[in-house]
Amino acid sequence: MATMAHEQHPALTHGEVTRDVVATLGPPSRGYVLMLGGAVALFLVGVITFVALLKEGLGLAGYQPPVMWSVYITTFVFWVGIGHAGTLISAILFLFRSPWRTAVYRATEAMTVFAIMTAGLFPIIHIGRQWVFYWLLPYPNQRYLWPNFKSPLLWDVFAIGTYLTVSTTFLVVGLVPDIAAVRDKVSGWRKKLYAACSLGWTGSDTQWRHYTRAYLYLAALATPLVLSVHSVVSWDFAMSIIPGWHGTIFAPYFVAGAIYSGIGMVFTLLIPLRKLLKLEHLITEYHFDNLGKLTLLTGSILFYAYAMEYFVAWYSGNTYEQTTFYLRAFGPMWWAGWTMIICNAFVSQLLWFRKIRTNLTALFIISIFINIGMWFERYVIIVSSLSNDFTPYAWDQLNPTWADWGILAGSFGWFAMYFLLFAKTFPVVAIQEIKEMIPMPRKRKGAHG
Amino acid sequence: MADDTPSNGINRRKFLTVLGVAGGGTAALSGCSTDRVQKLVPYLVQSEDQVPGIPTVYASTCTECAAGCGLHVRTREGRAIKLEGNPAHPINAGTLCARGQAGLQGLYNPGRLSGPMARGADGSWQELTWEDAIARLAERVGGGAGRLAVISGAGEGTFADLLAEWTAALGGRLVRYEPFDHEPLRAANRQVFGLDQLPSHDFARARHIVSFGADFLETWLAPVEQQRGFAAAHGYRDGEMAKHVYVGPRMSLTGMNADEWHASAPGTEAVVALAMAHVILAERSGAPSDANALRGVLAPYTPEMAAGECGLSADAIRLLAREFASARPSLAVTGGVAMQHRGAVEACAAVNILNYVAGNVGETVRFGSRLPAADGYGALDGLIATMAAGEVGVVLVHEANPLYAVPKARGLADAFAKVPFKVSTASVLDETAAACDLVLPNHHALERWDDRRIRAGVVGLMQPVMEPVMGSMPTGDVLLKTAQKIGGVMARFAAPTFEAHLKAAWAELARQRSASAPVFWMEALQRGGLYEAPPAPPGVRLAAGAERVGYTGPDLDGEGALVFLAYPTSMLFDGRGANRPWLLENPDPVTKITWQSWVELHPDTAKDLDVREGEIVRLVSPHGTLEAPAYLYAGVRTGVVAAPLGYGHTEYGQYAKGRGANALDLLDGGAGRAFLPYLSTRVRLERTRGYQKVAKTEGNPRQLGRHIAEAMSLPLARQGLDPRQAHYAETGGTPHEINTERELEAIAGFAAAQQAATKLGNYAGEHPRWGMVIDLARCTGCSSCVTACYAENNIPTVGEDEVLRGREMSWLRIERYFEGGEEPGEPLEARFVPMLCQHCGNAPCEPVCPVYAAYHTPDGLNAQVYNRCVGTRYCSNNCPYKVRYFNWHAYNKTAFPEPLHLQLNPDVTVRARGVMEKCTFCVQRIRGAQHQARLEDRPLADGDVVTACAQACPSGAIVFGDLNDPASRARAAAADHRGYHALEDLNVRPVITYLAKVQHRTEA
Amino acid sequence: MRKLALLAGGTALLLAGVGWAVRDASSAVQTSAAGCDSLTAPTLAAGDTARLRGPRQPIFFRHDIHAGQYKIQCQYCHYSVAVATEPGIPSMQTCMGCHLVIGGADSASKAEIRKLREASAQQQPIEWVRIHYLARHAHFPHMVHIKALGPTACATCHGDVTRMPQVFKVNNVNNMGWCIDCHLERTVSRDCSVCHY
Amino acid sequence: MTAPKIPGVLAAFAHIDAATDAIKALRAQGHRDLTVYSAAPNHELDEALAHPVSPVRLFTLLGGLTGCASGFAMTIWMSRDWPVLVGGKPIAAVPPYVVIAFELTILLGALSTVAGLVLLSLLKPTGRLLYDAKFSDDHVGIFVPCAPEQAQRVVELFRKAGSVEVHHAPA
């Protein structure tokens, strides 16, 4: 325990931890302001596009029947996937008592919440009559109508809703003691603010007693949840009969992909962030090394899944499946298909080397590949499968337009905006959990209670 | 929408008073809004035959081509909302082609003129009052300006007679002109049989049909009648079907429906026919005695000689001749516009000889029933000469658009400009009207009194079915009023209106039949005209001219490497269809291209020239040039380049103007000829580096062995095999069963359990199960059902740009798949499948809808509740047939510019933006029939419900009915051994049963 | 916890209140109708229309006089209601059929009938303000309902017009639940495609 | 923090073993209602205090069960309330409803856990106890409520145990 702790935080005292983390909440640097500005600008692009969609109709986007879902659903799945890494690190690794999660889990949990917030917008953006999206909710109405619980889309509503609520609670609960810590370090209006947010936390033994338990159960609940959510998302496709979608492998395949993409995003966020907030000694190579191993694992699962998809298509002898997968590799969308395979299956294999796992520049570049690759994975699965399904006469290829890219850009802006604001407002490193790792000083040397 | 402010041109006030309920008809457009303040406008005077909410049907006659089919015009609240076939009519018997149905968009065309106009001094148009307009006309034609010429496209009838008398009385010259007049046919009949008329063909009785470039399913003579006959003969019934062979350089729709296509070299039809006649005579298979006289004439035309000319093998010709002779009666037809080259008469004559030799004349080829047709191109050509010579003072153009229909090379425009005073009666500003000084818009045929002599014993009546949409005036009245204004000799045209004149003419008809005039009139009006049996055909013998038959081969000018083939399409015909959105969006049955013109190249030719599909190519002939995107089509002979007629209007309303290129620009003007040579020139193909994505609705033209469009050979069909068995019988191999007995039992048990679990609420008890059977052996792919569906269900036309995005909304589409034709020598085969919602019992689209907008009704319909739909589009993704269509934009706002919105069917919701829509099996007709039955306290009978597509189909390929009713035709048809479901292996349980196509396969 | 309970309770009360208010509104219709209980409809001037419920019409046509006092059958004017989906609006001809001779009892009605005669003289149709406008995506075949419920069933949806000096909307015909209630009560199919197509 | 303070003694410890010594000593003297502040949960303190297991898990269990039950109840009832046939499947088809039930299990389970946490610990009034900002940083604090007369003895005890400073709440 102690040794592990020292491996990641060489000789830090509780006091120093508090000091350094609270320091991150100080006045923003120039780089930070620039990034925030960029995020807000992107977000506005999205808003303008959405207004145009409301006014003119979805026709503005490049939909080309039979491709009835395209960039929006792709991006939806992408963001849901991003979320998964956060919960994995914060909840599942917590249950496994994995020591290296503590430094990074707060940031990743926040990433989860904001990713789901982003994803949650897409089902609304992509439907034909956005103003009646609430018809998907089971609320009593004068028409006596209820939604169709057999529809995977309704499962989505519940899965995403639950996931957002639970991961938000999980994040907030984790934050309370740290906010209290900040409260006791700052002064003036900020003290008042944090005092309000700390919900009267004092760190008394009773509070800790219930808190540790509650946190454990939340983690225990979040663990099956995170596995279920992307399974449900995958069933949006697997439950249909479209060749290329209708596969039993989808749930595990999507969950693995989700975590893979999520960690990719963790790299993309943390590597700049630790520079920006000077957290180099709290978030160390040690953490990235472990994250890298996780990426390697999930990446290899994806590699396997891709191989299996093609194998099953061939082995099934099902002509529809075979055509779909042949065209996926050699059809009009070959470039997308290969982008996905190279970025995910092959690039991830570089992480076999410790040198690369601990080289932040390399990791950052790889993480960009992962993000691109995983976006294209969804794009390929959704678009190429729809482009050529059962009725050859109806086949057609998608041509995305500015409206597609506008919303995509907007989603990144929206996400980045929230993440940056969070990083400046709340401790992105879990103070109390790190302290838990670092033993308090004792009077009597040697002995151990 | 009905409560808009009155818009230009439309006589709204009057319209509303007829409408009875403002909004009742047209506010269907308002989609989902309910809060708008509505006005209720009552009738001033309640007409007996208009009850709001109940359609009133008037009989009339179609004027979209010369065939003259009978119409039933369905009107609601005083608006015509749909054109349907008149079941009593001898020609179309209740069916109607796409062009005929689109006549409604001629009535409501946004391009229609609001009233008479004259060119001002500055060349701009000024609106006139009718008094003024008629005064001007009277002054010019009566006031000694003299040298009057009249060009009229009006078919035989009381009006045509009046016009003739009127012109004669003014000492003018009348040219009756119809663009596709089949002059070569008449000339050949004159030559071979000494009869100056067109024959009528009895396709239904023919056991073997050979068409030498006569597109009798599309544009040749009376397509609907011929299609009905063809379906009767060629449609499979009890082990029998006629064989159909098509000889010509391009596989037209008619060619696609042939069992064999022989791609003869352009202009060599004659020699093939002669060689066949030669063989038949040589083998003496029962030719009439006087045919022997032809032996000498035919001697040189041996199959070998013909083979050298036309590119068919001698054996093929021999085989063809034997089959043709042995099947009695058989029928050979020719004289299509596309094969009309300078020597076309000899081809027609040769085919006459062939028919005669095979003993078909008097059997399947009958004379005496058709009336002498128009004066032909020769007369117009003469007039052009006189106009060019400046010898014409006034020209009046009626129901004709020569400035478009005559190739530029003839120089008509300049000649026309030489005429000091030019008048047109066009109701839309077409090319000719635009060049005139005075335009007197005529009523549309549905707004006026008129009649049409169609053939001996058949006279179609037309009556006003609604208040005029625009401030137009029937030209008949104009003639009479002008005459009365001129006075003098013209005073004898005393009838107050043309209506009176017409009634007088019919009183005369009644007198001839010694019937009471009023009764005779009323009966005729209700029936739709006078339908009497045709007179007995005269005995036909060879005339002296028969000796002169021969073959000289096509005479083509131009030095290019490619022969240019201009052909009329089923949709645009001679170009008059180009301002009808329904026809522009209904894909050309052959190429599946919409809204654009194109240039057809054989893939090999294209490879040689290194041209890809969509590349804009320039064709250069001695007479002009044409630019259009290339379309690669294996159905056109190598070395031939084909382009559709009817595009490239320079006027003629917002839809037609500037759309595509006019193939006539490449053609020889035919100066001094009796007919226009459409196949007259060679062209040079130049590549422009331009590219234009072809707006075709087809994705992949091959069905990749997926069992969508099934066909079997005649012998297998005779054995009573089902398509699956036939498939294995042909490919060898055996159907392997996956499920064991016990598995099957388990599946059945599971199905039963599921059924039990679905018998709640509305689903308990007995219900009908609506189903449809489509006989692919009868379907010709003519696409008449598609337009019927657009008309019945308020389907919006989305326009070229949206079609390019694959967003056409056609609930019913005709899928055209090609088989073979890939290796050299392998015959190319086309199959048509009308693809519409299959209303699956296990519909994949239904469970995925989060709000139950797509669900299954107790009577077995796969319903789509527009107002519940939120537009997730999951249903469309999950539909294996891809027959669901999404409103990407507010098409309901853009597709029906005034007054087109008056065509909307008030029984069908007009879908708003953002919702999914699809075929409903015309649920509004089902509910209407159920309500009617309820009012009459009777159960629904088979045939009470007919879907729009089934009603329109000239082939009678579609049967609709209740599959739970043991007595229903649909149920019986569905039990046919040829029956199968598309993509059956998906187990979605469609209620649409297709009956596999049956083919005469040539054993090589 | 107490707060939560309060919140829930409050909502419940609120809903109950709304429900009661609605019921009250509908009963108010009855009372207003009961106001003119006698067979002879009250004398009202056109000026009074402002006080009455429902939109003002170009002519102050009194259903309470025509259908109530004189007991003219609904179908005399709404001629197609039993045979067609549309009930039909009486043509000018129909009105003039009586009002050629009937000039009105009091000055108020005289004035209104004069409007009618003038309109008829100028062949100008009267544009009545529509009160019941059913959304276009729902189809209500009048004839079937008349067939099922009898010729006097109009009141089921339109209220008792025989007591309405000026017709007003009694029921929101676009409230689907209200249609469904009736269909359930009478065990008529409530399959969506019965009305929506 | 305006509420009158509960009289007692508050001590801060920089060393963990010192704090545990103090706690053990106090408990030995019969002080049961100690309040021990720490910046992070610490197992040595737990051992010293020897608390029973927190009842939060009951909230989790009940919430989860409620969620599961309501999930199935809602879906099945709503399907049968207006039966609509889709894809030839049973009107109320349980397998797809498992997903809904599962999600609601997690949702209500999590929410009630948090509710439990809030009710059991955060709603407890802490304002009347002495508190020091150090405790959320790097010190352990122990507060013993006691009458002024006993105070002196407690202070002594703390000193012996080795507290870095001692506060005194006047009565």
Q: Distance of CA B504 to CAs B165, B495, B507, B523, B912, Å?
A: 16, 9, 5, 16, 50
CA atoms within 13 A on the CB side of B662: 24
Residues of C in contact with A143 (CB under 8 A): 176-177, 180
Contact B760 D80 (CB under 8 A): yes
The Cα–Cα gap between A77 and A58 comes to: 19
Tell me, what's the pLDDT at B24? 35
- Cα maximum dimension of chain B: 97
Tell me, what's the pLDDT at B48? 67
Contact B53 C194 (CB under 8 A): no
Tell me, what's the pLDDT at D126? 62
One-letter amino acid at C178 equals W
Query: Residue B538's CB: how many other CB atoms inside 10 A?
Result: 12
Residues of D in contact with B987 (CB under 8 A): none
Q: H or E element: which one contains B81?
A: strand B79-85
pLDDT one-digit tens code per residue, C24-79: 344 333 334 434 444 566 777 666 777 788 888 999 999 999 999 999 999 999 99
| Tens of each residue's pLDDT in chain A, 449 residues | 334 444 555 568 888 888 888 888 888 889 899 999 999 999 999 999 999 999 999 999 999 999 999 999 999 999 999 999 888 888 888 888 888 888 888 999 999 999 999 999 999 999 999 999 999 999 999 999 999 999 999 999 999 999 999 999 999 999 999 999 999 988 889 999 999 888 888 888 889 999 999 999 999 999 999 999 999 999 999 999 999 999 999 999 999 999 999 999 999 999 998 888 888 888 888 889 999 999 999 999 999 999 999 999 999 889 999 999 999 999 999 999 999 999 999 999 999 999 999 999 999 999 999 999 999 999 999 999 999 999 999 999 999 999 999 999 999 999 999 999 999 999 998 988 888 888 888 887 654 44
The Cα–Cα gap between A44 and A34 comes to: 15
Interface-testing mutation among D82, D118, D122, with chain C (most C C-beta atoms within 10 A):
D82
> Residue A5 is encoded by which pair of tokens?
């702790």
Contact A14 D39 (CB under 8 A): yes
- The angle subtended at Cα C144 by Cα C139 and Cα C148, nearest 5°, is 135
Contact A150 B847 (CB under 8 A): yes
The Cα–Cα gap between B672 and B380 comes to: 10
- Residue C14 pLDDT > 70, yes or no? no
For A240, which of B851, B877, B889 is closest by C-beta distance? B877
**Residue B88: exposed, middle, or buried by beta-carbon count in 10 A (0-12, 13-18, 19+)?**
middle
Question: Among candidates B832, B831, B878, B830, which has minimal Cα distance to B854?
Answer: B878
> Residue B259 is encoded by which pair of tokens?
């069992």
Question: Among candidates B150, B96, B131, which has minimal Cα distance to B528?
Answer: B96
Nearest-neighbour CA in chain C from B829: distance (Å)? 39
CA A297, A302, A303, A308 torsion: positive or negative? Answer: positive
b/e for B672-686, b at 16 or more Cβ within 10 A?
ebebbbbbbbbbbbe
ipTM summary value: 0.91
B605 close to B641: Cβ distance less than 8 angstroms: yes
Question: Among candidates B583, B580, B582, which has minimal Cα distance to B796?
Answer: B582
Residue B804 neighbours by CB under 8 Å, 6+ apart = B693, B695
Tell me, what's the pLDDT at C39? 55
Residues of C in contact with D119 (CB under 8 A): 1
The Cα–Cα gap between D23 and B778 comes to: 98
Contact D110 A165 (CB under 8 A): yes
b/e for B948-967, b at 16 or more Cβ within 10 A?
bbbbbbbbbbbbbbbbebee
Q: H or E element: which one contains A301?
A: helix A285-316
DSSP B736-760: PP-S-HHHHHHHHHHHHHHHHHT-S
| Tens of each residue's pLDDT in chain D, 171 residues | 445 678 888 999 999 889 998 999 888 888 888 889 999 988 888 888 888 888 999 999 999 999 999 999 999 999 999 999 999 889 999 999 999 999 999 999 999 999 999 998 876 666 677 888 888 888 899 998 888 888 888 888 888 888 888 887 765
Tell me what percent of the residues of chain B surpass a pLDDT of 70. Answer: 94
Among A190-204, B252-266, B269-283, B509-523, which stretch is predicted with the lowest mean pLDDT? A190-204
Region of B662 on the Ramachandran plot (φ > 0 left; ψ -120 to 50 alpha; else beta): beta
Question: Terminal CA-to-CA distance of chain A, rounded, Å?
Answer: 14
Residues of C in contact with A139 (CB under 8 A): none
Contact D82 C1 (CB under 8 A): no
Interface partners of C (3+ CB pairs, < 8 Å)? A, B, D
The residue-averaged pLDDT of C83-95 equals 89
Tell me, what's the pLDDT at A1? 37
- Residue C8 pLDDT > 60, yes or no? no
- Closest chain D residue to B849, measured at CA: D86
For B46, which of C91, C133, C196 is closest by C-beta distance? C91
Is A183 in CB contact (< 8 Å) with chain D?
yes
Residues 10-39 of A with CB under 8 A from D: 13-15, 18
Give the strand pairing for B640-644 and B599-601: antiparallel
Tell me, what's the pLDDT at B145? 56
- The angle subtended at Cα B482 by Cα B488 and Cα B397, nearest 5°, is 125
Q: H or E element: which one contains B503?
A: helix B498-512
B250 close to B565: Cβ distance less than 8 angstroms: yes
> Residue B511 in 3-state DSSP?
helix
- The angle subtended at Cα B333 by Cα B330 and Cα B336, nearest 5°, is 165
Residues 136-165 of A with CB under 8 A from D: 138, 144-150, 154-155, 158-159, 161-162, 165
The Cα–Cα gap between B325 and B280 comes to: 6
DSSP B99-133: HHHTHHHHHT-TTB-SS-EEE-TTS-EEE--HHHH
Query: Residue D32's CB: how many other CB atoms inside 10 A?
Result: 6
Contact A157 B882 (CB under 8 A): no
Question: Among candidates B405, B409, B319, which has minimal Cα distance to B651?
Answer: B405
Among A187-196, A385-394, B108-117, B743-752, which stretch is predicted with the lowest mean pLDDT? B743-752
Residue B175 bridge partners (DSSP): B151
> Residue B939 is encoded by which pair of tokens?
């159960």
Residues of D in contact with B839 (CB under 8 A): none
A357 close to A363: Cβ distance less than 8 angstroms: yes
The Cα–Cα gap between B908 and B919 comes to: 12
Tell me, what's the pLDDT at B33? 33
Residue B93 neighbours by CB under 8 Å, 6+ apart = B85, B87, B228
Contact D124 A222 (CB under 8 A): no
Residue B628 neighbours by CB under 8 Å, 6+ apart = B596, B597, B598, B599, B616, B617, B643, B660, B661
Residues of C in contact with D84 (CB under 8 A): 192
Backbone angles phi, psi at D142, to 5 degrees: -130, 130
Q: What confidence tier does B19 reach under pLDDT thresholds 50, 70, 90? A: very low
Residue B462 bridge partners (DSSP): B450
Tell me, what's the pLDDT at B96? 96
Contact A144 C180 (CB under 8 A): yes
More confident residue, B72 or B761: B72
Residues of A in contact with D35 (CB under 8 A): 204-206
Question: Among candidates B66, B63, B58, which has minimal Cα distance to B82?
Answer: B58
The Cα–Cα gap between B130 and B478 comes to: 9
Nearest-neighbour CA in chain B from A68: distance (Å)? 6
- Residue B497 pLDDT > 90, yes or no? yes
> Residue B56 in 3-state DSSP?
strand
Question: Among candidates B109, B215, B955, which has minimal Cα distance to B570?
Answer: B215
Residue A98 neighbours by CB under 8 Å, 6+ apart = A290
Tell me, what's the pLDDT at C21? 44
Tell me, what's the pLDDT at B381? 94
Q: Distance of CA D65 to CAs A138, D58, D118, Å?
A: 20, 11, 20
The Cα–Cα gap between B422 and B151 comes to: 11
> Residue B395 is encoded by which pair of tokens?
């020209």
- Closest chain C residue to D83, measured at CA: C191
User: Which residue shows structure tokens 């095999």?
Assistant: B721
> Residue D99 is encoded by which pair of tokens?
């997903």
Is A140 in CB contact (< 8 Å) with chain C?
no
- Residue B613 pLDDT > 50, yes or no? yes
Tell me, what's the pLDDT at B741? 84
Tell me, what's the pLDDT at C27? 38
The Cα–Cα gap between A431 and A14 comes to: 9
Tell me, what's the pLDDT at C17? 52
